[in-house]
C-alpha cells in the first residue's frame, strides 16, 4: 500500500473519489506542442476528434490524406504506400485516424477519444462518469458501424439498406441514447458537462440529419427531446463557431466520394 511521509497508509483511490479529482495519467507531455489529428479528407471518424481540438482551442494540425481517382480507379497510395509505413514504425497498430502528440502516436478511434479526453479533461470528473464515457463511446461506435455498413455497403442493396438504417437500425441506437440521457437525467452522456463522446454522438446525429434530409425522410431527432437538446447545444457552442463556418465542416464530405452517399 502507498504511504505518506509519516509512513501512514494512503488509500489513493478513496482519496481521488473523496476529492472528486479525475485520475488523469501523468505521461502526457506538459509543454503545449503541435498535435496532429490524421484521417482521410472526409468527416468520418476524423471530424469529432477535430471538433474536440477546436472546442478546447488546442494547438493542432489536421493531417488529411486524399483518396483520388487515378485512371478511373480510386487510389489510396498517399496513405497506404507513402505515409503508413512511417506511422507503423512508431505504432504497430497504424491506422486512420491517428494522433501524434510529441513522442506519442495513438491509433484506434476510441483510444484517440480517450487520449484527448484525459489530456483536455473532457473524460468525466470521477470514475463513475469515466465509465459512462467508456460505455457511450462503445455504443456510439455501434451506431457508426451500422451507418458505414450502409454508406460503403453494396450499391445493389443500397435502397433496402438505407431504409433499414433510417427505419430500424439508427432509431434503435438513438432510442438507447435518449433513454440513457433520460435515465441519468443529464444533458450530455456523462453529466451536464461535455465529454469527448458527446462530440462523436453529435457528428453521427449531424450525419443522420443530412442523410434523412437527402432522402426526404423525417428527422430521427423527432420525439427524442434529449438528443435534440444535445444536438442543438453543441451546434450553438461559441467555441465551435469557426469550425462550423470553416472548410473542415462546410466543404468536407461525410464519406469518401466512392461511397453510396457522401
Ligand atoms: N477500429 C479502427 C478502424 C479504423 C478504420 O477502419 N479506418 C479506416 C477508415 S474509417 C481506414 O481507412 N484505415 C486505414 C488503414 O487501414 O490503414 C478504429 O476505430 O480506428
The answer on 151 and 91 residing in a single domain is: no
State the residue for C-alpha cell 479528407.
41
Read off the pLDDT of each residue in 105-128 and give the average, rounded to a whole number.
98
Q: How many CA atoms lie within 13 A of 54 on its CB side?
A: 23
Find out whether 220 and 166 touch, Cβ atoms under 8 Å. Answer: yes
Q: Residue 112 is part of which domain span?
A: 35-119
The answer on 74 and 173 residing in a single domain is: no
pLDDT digits (tens, 9 = 90+) for 205-222: 999 999 999 999 999 999
For residue 59, what are the contacts with CB-CB under 8 A and spacing of at least 6?
32, 33, 34, 35
The answer on 136 and 53 residing in a single domain is: no
- Whether 49 is in a domain gets the answer yes
User: What share of the chain has pLDDT > 70, as a percent?
Assistant: 88
Banded model confidence at residue 11, pLDDT cuts 50, 70, 90 = very low
The answer on 230 and 141 residing in a single domain is: yes
Number of structural domains (the chain) is 2
- Whether 81 is in a domain gets the answer yes
Instruction: Report the nearest-CA residue for atom 9 of ligand 1.
Output: 96
Instruction: Report the nearest-CA residue for atom 17 of ligand 1.
Output: 95
The answer on 54 and 132 residing in a single domain is: no
* Cα 125 to averaged position of ligand 1 atoms, centre (Å): 30
The answer on 188 and 92 residing in a single domain is: no
The grid cell for 19 is 476529492
The answer on 214 and 138 residing in a single domain is: yes
pLDDT digits (tens, 9 = 90+) for 43-59: 999 999 999 999 999 99
The answer on 201 and 134 residing in a single domain is: yes
Question: What is the pTM for the complete model shown?
Answer: 0.89
Q: Is the CB of 45 under 6 A from ligand 1?
A: yes
Please say if the pLDDT value at position 28 is more than 50.
no
Q: What CA–CA distance (Å, rounded) separates 95 from 39? A: 9
The answer on 115 and 131 residing in a single domain is: no
Amino acid at each position: 500500500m502507498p504511504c505518506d511521509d509519516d509512513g501512514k497508509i494512503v488509500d489513493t483511490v478513496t482519496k481521488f473519489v473523496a476529492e472528486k479529482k479525475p485520475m488523469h495519467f501523468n505521461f502526457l507531455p506538459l509543454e503545449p506542442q503541435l498535435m496532429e489529428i490524421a484521417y482521410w479528407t472526409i468527416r468520418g471518424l476524423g471530424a469529432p476528434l477535430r471538433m474536440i481540438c477546436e472546442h478546447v482551442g488546442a494547438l493542432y494540425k489536421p493531417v488529411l490524406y486524399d483518396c483520388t481517382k487515378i485512371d478511373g480507379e480510386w487510389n489510396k497510395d498517399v496513405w497506404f504506400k507513402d505515409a503508413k509505413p512511417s506511422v507503423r514504425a512508431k505504432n504497430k497498430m497504424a491506422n486512420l485516424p491517428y494522433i501524434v502528440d510529441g513522442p506519442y502516436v495513438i491509433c484506434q478511434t476510441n483510444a484517440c477519444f480517450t487520449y484527448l479526453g484525459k489530456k483536455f479533461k473532457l473524460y468525466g470528473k470521477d470514475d463513475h462518469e469515466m465509465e459512462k464515457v467508456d460505455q457511450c463511446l462503445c455504443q456510439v461506435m455501434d451506431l457508426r458501424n451500422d451507418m458505414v455498413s450502409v454508406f460503403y455497403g453494396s450499391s445493389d442493396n443500397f435502397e433496402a439498406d438505407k431504409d433499414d438504417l433510417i427505419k430500424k437500425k439508427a432509431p434503435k441506437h438513438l432510442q438507447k441514447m435518449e433513454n440513457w440521457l433520460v435515465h441519468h437525467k443529464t444533458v450530455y452522456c456523462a453529466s451536464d458537462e461535455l465529454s469527448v463522446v458527446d462530440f462523436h454522438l453529435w457528428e453521427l446525429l449531424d450525419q443522420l440529419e443530412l442523410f434523412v434530409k437527402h432522402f426526404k425522410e423525417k428527422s430521427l431527432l423527432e420525439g427524442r427531446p434529449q438528443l435534440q437538446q444535445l444536438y442543438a447545444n453543441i451546434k450553438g457552442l461559441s467555441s465551435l463557431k469557426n469550425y462550423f463556418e470553416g472548410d473542415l465542416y462546410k466543404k468536407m464530405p461525410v464519406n469518401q466520394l466512392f461511397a453510396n452517399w457522401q
